[in-house]
Amino acid sequence: MEIIKAVLLMLILGGVIGVLLGVASVKLYVEEDHRVEEVLAMLPGYNCGGCGNPGCAGMAAKLVEGESTIDKCKPCKPDVRAAIAAYLAEHAG
């Protein structure tokens, strides 16, 4: 009898926590800026840190926020720099 009570208690507790997590995931959802992912895809992906950021993801985030310029990315080719600058000018946030 004790085991059945313990199993039922765990099922109820798991159900309540599952519902709370489901509600929290809807209420606390933070929408990410898709421009960061698109700029990151355009960057060379070397994660060298030559721009002063901790990799290309940091550089992409700062570019989208307007805190950095594409000229700081040393391995980026001129045509890619122009494409990123055009993208950011077109999709200003």
Domain identity same for 55 and 74: yes
d(CA 70, CA 63): 7
Q: Do 40 and 16 lie in a common domain?
A: no
Per-residue pLDDT tens over the stretch 4-41:
999 999 999 999 999 999 999 999 999 888 999 999 99
pTM of the model: 0.68
- Quote the number of domains for the chain: 2
The yes-or-no verdict on residue 93 having pLDDT over 80 is: no
Q: For residue 4, give its domain range.
A: 1-30
- The answer to whether residue 72 scores a pLDDT higher than 80 is yes
User: 20-43: buried (b, 16+ CB within 10 Å) or exposed (e) per residue?
Assistant: eeeeeeeeeeeeeeebbeebbebb
